[in-house]
Amino acid sequence: MFTRRPSRNESFSKHHNTSFDKHRAGKATSSKQKRSFRDHAATVKKLDVNPKKPDHSPPVGRRVFNSLALLKWKADNASSTLTSPIVTICVGPEQRLFAAHEDVLSHSPFFAAICRGQFLESGSKRVNLPEELPEIFSSVLEYLYKGDYYPRLMHNKRRNTWELEEDGSKNNVESTVYSHSSGQQLLKDTMLYCTADRYGLEDLKRLSLRKQGLQSGIQCSTILASARYAYANTSDSDSKLRAHYLALIIRSRSTFKRSGTMQMEMEQGGTM
């Protein structure tokens, strides 16, 4: 029998539909270029299909971004974490109130000791932190619950680089926080680093340094003031922090040269 040959219109229609489907599939594939730490954590959880033994302790002491492993650990233990008792925290001289689950706070050795009852006020789960800044403590809590803090660290898949989340504005408000103790604007990531150091959150220290390294357009006075704050509130043996600030100052040397800030600081003397 003779086989019917498709007409020219039918061949064109089939080719057109196939090309359109490929174009639509390609567009859908390329629409997502940025991934957050939460996306990476979901991928890690899918790959871990055959764990040898259940480990309910938080991951610590790893060189790679531990936030990924920490997010996976939080997801595995979410049922017990979100049903634990609520602890009220009074922060700053104005006693701004925060609330957090006890198990979430206990990721920090500092708060784990508090939650064991050593410093809790009698009869209530309440903690007073009069020396802390509410803006900084809010970011600490955000990190404990989400593994990151605003602005988040995002992965640009197309460029294969890490960058800070954009909020659509051109200002740099979130990069600094006013410190009442020093009377100056300080880098938020530096203050978070020092707070994480007190709370024993090594992953948060690494994350804050990584984020600060992505900041740009920082004023010379802010860099120097933040360096002094960091040096005064961390151990002299913290070589990673000091190397970070040395690299930051070297990277901004042209800005320092134009402003004359570094020369003025050297003439005045003192320590960093």
- pLDDT tens-place string over residues 176-198: 999 988 888 999 999 999 999 99
For 264, residues 6+ apart whose C-beta sits below 8 A from its C-beta are none
pLDDT score at 217: 79
pLDDT score at 84: 84
Of the pLDDT bands very low, low, confident and very high (cuts 50, 70, 90), residue 35 is low
pLDDT score at 1: 47
Of the pLDDT bands very low, low, confident and very high (cuts 50, 70, 90), residue 205 is very high
When mean pLDDT is compared across 105-109, 151-155, 166-170, the lowest value belongs to 166-170
| E runs forming strands in the chain | 34-35, 86-91, 96-101, 126-129, 153-156, 161-164, 176-179, 184-187
Q: Is the pLDDT of residue 148 over 90?
A: yes
Q: Is the pLDDT of residue 128 over 60?
A: yes
For 63, residues 6+ apart whose C-beta sits below 8 A from its C-beta are none
Q: Is the pLDDT of residue 38 over 90?
A: no
Q: Is the pLDDT of residue 104 over 90?
A: yes
Burial 181-203 (b: 16+ CB within 10 A, else e): eeebbbbbbbbbbbbbbebbbeb
Three-class SS state of 162: strand
CA distances 233 to 30, 47, 61, 94, Å, are: 45, 40, 22, 23
pLDDT score at 83: 79
When mean pLDDT is compared across 18-27, 30-39, 121-130, the lowest value belongs to 18-27
Q: Is the pLDDT of residue 86 over 80?
A: yes
Three-class SS state of 208: helix
Q: What is the DSSP letter of 160?
A: T
Q: Over the stretch 57-71, which tens digit does the pLDDT of each residue have?
A: 444 433 334 445 555
More confident residue, 175 or 171: 175
Give percent above pLDDT 70 in the chain.
Answer: 59
Q: Is the pLDDT of residue 269 over 70?
A: no
Three-class SS state of 156: strand
For 57, residues 6+ apart whose C-beta sits below 8 A from its C-beta are none
When mean pLDDT is compared across 94-98, 112-116, 134-138, 192-196, the lowest value belongs to 112-116
Q: Is the pLDDT of residue 242 over 60?
A: yes
Q: Is the pLDDT of residue 30 over 80?
A: no
